Amino acid sequence: MASDIDGVLTQLRKGVLEYCVLALLAEHPSYGLELAHRLGRHRVLFASEGTLYPLLSRLRRQGWVDSTWRESTAGPPRRYYELTDSGRTALATFVQAWQPFSADVRTVLAGVDR
């Protein structure tokens, strides 16, 4: 049963994790490990750091985030990620679609016996 749930969660994460990263970056620019810690507070949403860096690379290629290297007082320079105007538009579009979508899912699932 646990592996069945893991499979479902994997599929759900694929659809929403990139938008959750965009939402965090909309709050303020962050470096990868900081994003991992912020996402890690949501265990169901975020499983591992191993998925984050490829996702950030994909978001850069899409033009939804930019990155810059910044010096750190606590070690080597860090790559900071920042939302672009395109990323803000993508996030706004997702939020607009997510609200009715998630409401419909909740309504349909409300009728399921648990």
Q: Summarize pLDDT for 45-97 with one digit per residue, the tens.
A: 888 888 899 999 999 999 999 999 999 888 899 999 999 999 999 999 999 99
The predicted model scores a pTM of 0.88
Q: Is it the case that residue 27 has pLDDT exceeding 90?
A: yes
SS3 of the chain: CHHHHHHHHHHHHHHHHHHHHHHHHHHCCEEHHHHHHHHHCCCCCCCCHHHHHHHHHHHHHHCCEEEEEEEECCEEEEEEEEECHHHHHHHHHHHHHHHHHHHHHHHHHHCCCC
Rounded to 10 degrees, the C-alpha dihedral 72/77/83/84 comes to: 130
Domains of the chain: 2-110 (1.10.10.10)
